[in-house]
């Protein structure tokens, strides 16, 4: 299922201290590796993507992503 069938979408990225560094409800928007308009250093970040679909089903994916400069 693609995001065109989603009624809600939430993509959140956290730093290693659990501080939210990025969040969007737009499935077409990506993260540019910045926080408060400043580039972040190389590090590992946690992400969570939660989606609710038109049929009421929900999915949540989580993992880590490494930002490399």
pLDDT in tens, the chain (69 residues): 566 788 999 999 999 999 999 999 999 999 999 999 999 999 999 999 999 998 999 999 999 999 998
CATH number, domain containing residue 10: 2.60.40.1220
pLDDT at 5: 82
pLDDT at 1: 59
pTM strictly above 0.75: yes
The first and second tokens of residue 27, run together, are 């499935």
For 16, residues 6+ apart whose C-beta sits below 8 A from its C-beta are 43, 44, 45, 46
Domain of 10 in residue numbering reads as 3-67
Please tell me the total count of domains within the chain. Answer: 1
pLDDT at 6: 84
């Amino acid at each position: 299922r693609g995001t065109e069938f989603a009624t809600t979408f939430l993509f959140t990225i956290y730093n290693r201290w659990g501080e939210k560094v990025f969040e969007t409800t737009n499935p077409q928007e990506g993260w540019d590796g910045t926080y408060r308009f400043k580039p972040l250093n190389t590090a590992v970040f946690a992400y969570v993507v939660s989606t609710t679909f038109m049929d009421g089903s929900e999915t949540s994916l989580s993992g880590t992503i490494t930002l490399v400069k």
